Copies of this chain bind each other. A is one copy, B any other.
Amino acid sequence: MSALGLAAMGSYTVGGRAVTVEGRAKRTVALSAGLGLDYDPNGQFWIEQAYVQYFVPSTQRVEWPLVLIHGGGLTGSAWETTPDGRPGWLHDFLVAGFAVHVVDNVERGRAGFCALEGEWDGMPIVRSEQESWALYRIGDASDYVRRIPYAGQRFPYTCLGELTRRTVPRWPATIDAQRRALLALIERLGPCIVLGHSQGGGFAIELAATRPDLVRAAVALEPHGNFSSIGSVALHNRPLLLVSGDYFAQSALWRDLDAKAQGALLAWGRAGGIPHTLRLNNQGLPGHSHMMMMDEGSERIAALIVEWLSDVTAGQPRG
């Protein structure tokens, strides 16, 4: 990787709520072979916060911090080393001069999940490697066993296991809590740029659509989510970039999600925003999966986004 100078690095939590538990029975638990504790499940807890790790490069070329929002079933580690061991977008954006704030959203990764009874509905689900293979458009579901990907595939599919090991459980019931935590994050940061992938791309669009006072530019990588908030606030020429990869012909699900995202982009324009589209196939970059930030050539996609962000933020008033 490129050597990197940092002016600052650290982490913080944001959002969430305090919960008081009362009236439950104590019990003894062994926390290690050396420590058996009388565990009291009662008391004060905090749930539904997001965790954010940030890095500020010594040479900051872009004024506003860049918030990276991972997709569902993943954590902020999605932006780090790729499954085949190359530097990820966290590195690429730092080298490009962005201060980067990497989110672990509610219940994912270092944000911690809620283990208190009765707070969250249902049980967590976790994505199998087979589902990743098909949902991320690496190859046809029927070809998972033989690991034969779509022709020209740029996802490092021989290292799929590393992505499986970074896939974490999720609760379908926490979408509103995730939305609230992200809103608390941008309110803390002030003017910023948001970039989200998949579920995180849907959140990026929502944040940008509802808080154009804070979100100066938004990038959504194959987003899905609730786009109904677009139009609730005038968007004052705020730019939104929709990025999409290859193999939509092979997936009815993704054609449907892409059509919805294109609809969101039209609504964005009607609401006074400036819609942009980056179809990688049309840029001479075919073969990209849904996990484009991990694909071979991921650094070229990052470079296109950096170029776009430089263009659309250059003309905006500071502060």
Interface residues of A (CB under 8 A from B): 1, 3-13, 16, 21, 29-35, 37, 39-46, 49, 51, 53, 58, 72, 75-77, 80-81, 85, 87-88, 90-91, 104, 109-110, 112-113, 115-116, 123-126, 128-131, 135, 161-162, 164-170, 172, 175, 199, 202, 223-228, 257, 260
Q: Determine the main DSSP class of A at the interface with B.
A: mixed
Distance from A69 Cβ to chain B, minimum over Cβ atoms (Å):
12
Report whether B3 and A172 are in contact in the complex, using a CB–CB cutoff of 8 Å: no
Contacts of A1 in B (CB 8 A): 8-10
Closest to A178 in B: B32
- List the B side residues contacting A8 at CB < 8 Å: 1
Cβ contacts A to B, 11 pairs, < 8 Å: A10-B80, A12-B162, A32-B202, A34-B227, A35-B199, A35-B224, A46-B129, A109-B112, A112-B169, A115-B125, A116-B126
Complex: how many Å from CA A7 to CA B2? 7
What is the CB-to-nearest-CB distance from A93 to chain B, in angstroms, rounded to a whole number? 13
State whether B9 touches A4 (Cβ < 8 A).
yes
Q: Which residues of B contact A116 (CB under 8 A)?
A: 126
- Which of B21, B85, B225 is the one whose CB lies under 8 Å from A34? B225
Q: How far is the CA of A277 from the CA of B43 in the complex (A)?
A: 35
Decide: A226 and B32 in contact? CB cutoff 8 A.
Answer: yes
Q: What residue of chain B has the Cβ atom nearest to residue A160's Cβ?
A: B44
List 7 tightest A-B contacts by C-beta distance, closest first.
A43-B128, A33-B226, A112-B168, A115-B169, A10-B81, A34-B224, A13-B165
Given B32, B45, B87, B104, which contacts A126 in the complex, CB threshold below 8 Å?
Answer: B45
Copies of this chain, complex-wide, total 2
A30 → chain B closest CB, angstroms: 5
- Give the CA-CA distance A49 to B41 in the complex, in Å: 27
Check B115–A166 contact: CB distance below 8 A: no
Complex CA gap A40/B125 in Å reads: 9
Point out the residues of chain B lying under 8 angstroms from A46, CB to CB: 129, 161, 164-165, 167
Q: Determine if A33 and B110 form an interchain contact, defined as CB atoms under 8 angstroms apart.
A: no
Q: Which of B58, B90, B131 is A3 in contact with, Cβ under 8 Å?
A: B58
Contact between chains at A29 and B125 (CB < 8 Å):
yes
Residue among A12, A91, A257 with the highest chain B CB neighbour number at 10 A: A12
**Distance in Å from the Cβ of A106 to the closest Cβ of chain B?**
11
- CB contacts (< 8 Å) of A260 on chain B: these are 34
List chain B residues, Cβ under 8 A from A9: 1, 4, 80, 90-91
Residues of B within 8 A of A166 (CB): 13, 51, 110, 112
The minimal Cβ–Cβ distance linking A195 to chain B, given in whole angstroms, is 17
Which residues does chain B contribute within 8 Å of A87, judged by CB atoms?
10
